[in-house]
């Protein structure tokens, strides 16, 4: 997926002075940074924005950064996650990596080290180790460019594939037509205004399975979303 606009980071850190230092540093490097101090606010931000990277503190006032990390991983396999841990214990590092973090940093650390880790994670190709995406009974393999509904392989065009991949990387989130145009076509696309709807209709038709619910829901006046419903098998 291409980057449009600035690289956007989510920083989840309840230590205000530390959060301010990190925010200032990262903003100076040109990143758009959103800072929150609780698991609740982090979850809210994650439904609003399409982040390129998340930095998570483990100890948060209303919960555990590890749980948050696991939730993010279930919804967005490709988002790079850097964990901040206060203890220099091996078990914390292992727990962080097991929860789906890509890297970790032990406090106290110097800002340049965090900046270097962030740069390294952003350089990593998004699909390098991305597993098969699954939403309900739809699976999509970014590596082999194949899609299945249950056990049936579904042939999609390159554009249809990109459209479905974008939506599956944001399951349960409503993807607006503008958002889909920007990410799947091009920010400057000025062709047919209903191009998104036409492609969605094609993807729907191809994914159709008799007796099974439509995995793509239309949210009137807003856009579309993948429905996480029960697996059909």
Nearest-angstrom CA–CA distance, 207 and 153: 9
User: Does 59 help bind Ca ion (rule: CB under 5 A)?
Assistant: yes
**What residue has token string 């988002």?**
79
Number of residues that bind Ca ion (CB under 5 A): 3
Provide the 3-class DSSP secondary structure of residue 71.
helix
* In the complex, least distance from residue 84 CB atom to Ca ion, rounded to whole angstroms: 8
* In the complex, least distance from residue 59 CB atom to Ca ion, rounded to whole angstroms: 4
Question: CA dist 131 to 73, 175, 195, Å?
Answer: 11, 22, 29
138-161 core/surface letters (b: 16 or more CB in 10 A; e: else): bbbebeeeebbbeeeebebeeebb
User: Does 14 help bind Ca ion (rule: CB under 5 A)?
Assistant: yes
Please identify, using beta-carbon distances, which residue of 65 and 80 lies nearer to Ca ion: 65
Please identify, using beta-carbon distances, which residue of 16 and 231 lies nearer to Ca ion: 16
Closest by CA to 108, choosing from 38, 42, 21, 32, is: 21
* In the complex, least distance from residue 65 CB atom to Ca ion, rounded to whole angstroms: 8
Q: Which stretch binds Ca ion (CB under 5 A): 25-33, 52-60, 109-117, 145-153?
A: 52-60
User: Does 57 help bind Ca ion (rule: CB under 5 A)?
Assistant: yes
Q: Which stretch binds Ca ion (CB under 5 A): 18-26, 58-66, 67-75, 104-112?
A: 58-66
Of all residues in this chain, which one has the CB nearest to Ca ion in the complex?
59
* In the complex, least distance from residue 162 CB atom to Ca ion, rounded to whole angstroms: 38
Sequence-distant (6+) residues with CB within 8 A of 205 are none
Please identify, using beta-carbon distances, which residue of 64 and 141 lies nearer to Ca ion: 64
* In the complex, least distance from residue 51 CB atom to Ca ion, rounded to whole angstroms: 20
Provide the 3-class DSSP secondary structure of residue 136.
coil
CA atoms within 13 A on the CB side of 215: 26
| Cα 205 off chain centre by | 26
Residue 52 near residue 26 (C-beta atoms within 8 A): no
Please identify, using beta-carbon distances, which residue of 68 and 133 lies nearer to Ca ion: 68
Please identify, using beta-carbon distances, which residue of 59 and 63 lies nearer to Ca ion: 59
Q: Which stretch binds Ca ion (CB under 5 A): 57-65, 127-135, 149-157, 172-180?
A: 57-65
Residues from 92 through 131 that contact Ca ion (CB under 5 A)? none
Residues that bind Ca ion (CB under 5 A): 14, 57, 59
């Amino acid at each position: 997926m291409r980057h449009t606009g600035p690289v956007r980071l989510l920083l989840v850190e309840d230590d205000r002075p530390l959060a301010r230092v990190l925010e200032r540093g990262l903003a100076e490097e040109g990143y758009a940074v959103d800072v929150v101090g609780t698991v609740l606010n982090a979850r809210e931000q994650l439904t609003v924005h399409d982040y390129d990277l998340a930095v998570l503190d483990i100890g948060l006032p209303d919960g555990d950064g590890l749980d948050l990390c696991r939730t993010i991983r279930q919804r967005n396999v490709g988002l790079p996650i850097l964990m901040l841990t206060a203890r220099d214990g091996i078990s914390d590092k292992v727990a962080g990596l097991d929860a789906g973090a890509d890297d970790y940093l032990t406090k106290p650390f110097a800002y340049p080290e965090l900046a270097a880790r962030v740069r390294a994670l952003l350089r990593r190709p998004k699909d390098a180790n991305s597993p098969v995406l699954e939403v309900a009974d739809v699976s999509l393999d970014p590596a082999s460019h194949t899609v299945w509904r249950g056990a049936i392989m579904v042939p999609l065009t390159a554009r249809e594939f990109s459209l479905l991949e974008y939506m599956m990387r944001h399951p349960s989130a409503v993807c607006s037509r503008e958002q889909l145009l920007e990410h799947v076509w091009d920010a400057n696309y000025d062709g047919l205004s209903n191009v998104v709807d036409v492609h969605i209709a094609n993807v729907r038709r191809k994914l159709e399975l008799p007796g099974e619910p439509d995995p793509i829901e239309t949210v009137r006046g807003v856009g579309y979303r993948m429905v996480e419903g029960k697996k059909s098998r």
